[in-house]
Amino acid sequence: MAEPARQLDVIDARPAFTQADADALNARFEGVDALTMLKTVFAEGLAGKVAVVSSFGTESAVLLDLVARADRNIPVIFVDTLKMFAETLNYRDTLIARLGFTDSRSVTPDRDVLMQKDETGLRWSYDPDGCCDIRKVEPMNRAKQGLDAWISGRKAFQSTTRQNMPRFEIEDGRLKINPLGDWAKEDLEAYFEEHDLPRHPLEAQGYLSVGCEPCTSKVLPGEDPRAGRWRGWDKVECGIHSPVTPIPAPVADPDDPANQPVF
């Protein structure tokens, strides 16, 4: 009697999604509202193992409310750089409780890496790209391990580096979903009002885009909404979404304490 053919152990290293998958999803959901899209994606398992990533910034409540209405069991991931505003941490807790999420996760920088590369905690002041890499990018990469897809709150209007944004795109073999990519600022404001969502407590003070405390300043009239991030540096992204691309910035008022370095 012949022995059965030997079975080889093969590791499937293929990406969870390809550009063809993203193209098909973009075509299927063209013109479909964000909430219906999310409900369908979750109900049909179109994104596999998925989570929503939130900075709990000034516009985050809209995406989180949409995700919660579609499925409150979707994990919510927050990267705590250990340089966040206390107001942001409180806002996170407020929104998670208000929207009823059942799986809230926080990821922080590796302590050993911080001791090796940012022992003083001042790397942001001379190497913001390096600081973002160890405090945001690396923790985010760890948080995404095991995920097939993740949901981003990016909007095309936020800066020149975010234009022409598809709803579905591929990043490192994962599906990246941008439900609000084509929303305008007016759409967000209307949603806040319609659903009576709480605002980030720093927004009323002129912080239109809130990141880490040392690298966030108030936005001046007429500026890009993200101009208050990394003011004085040719930098508009932390590295989680795209490479650094400089944008022109108006001259800030040097006497405004919000535009002074924080040590």
What pLDDT, on the 0 to 100 scale, is given for residue 248?
A: 33
Q: Which two tokens stand for residue 49?
A: 């193992």
Q: Which residues make Cβ contacts (< 8 Å) with residue 66, sequence separation at least 6?
A: 34, 35, 38, 179
Q: Reply yes or no on whether 238 is catalytic.
A: yes
Binding residues for [4Fe-4S] cluster, by number, are 131-132, 212, 215
Q: Taking a C-beta distance cutoff of 8 angstroms, is the pair 97, 124 a contact?
A: no
pLDDT at 255: 58
Q: Which residues of the chain have pLDDT under 70?
A: 1-15, 157-164, 234-263
Strand partners, 171: 174
Q: Which two tokens stand for residue 114?
A: 């911080």
Residue 84, classed as helix, strand or coil, is strand
pLDDT for 13 equals 52
Position 67, amino acid: V
Contact 156, 162 (CB under 8 A): yes
Tell me, what's the pLDDT at 3? 57
pTM: 0.81
Could you report the per-residue pLDDT of 186-219, keeping only the tens digit for each? 999 999 999 999 999 999 999 988 999 999 999 8
6 class by beta-carbon count within 10 Å (0-12 exposed, 13-18 middle, 19+ buried): exposed
Please identify which of the residues 50, 96, 227, 238 carries the catalytic annotation: 238
Q: What's the rounded Cα separation, in Å, for the pair 104 and 78?
A: 8
DSSP conformation class of 229: B
Structure tokens at 252: 């800030």
CATH architecture of 33-205: 3-Layer(aba) Sandwich (3.40)
CA distance 58 to 117: 30
Q: Which pLDDT score is estimated for 87?
A: 97
Binding-site residue set: 131-132, 212, 215
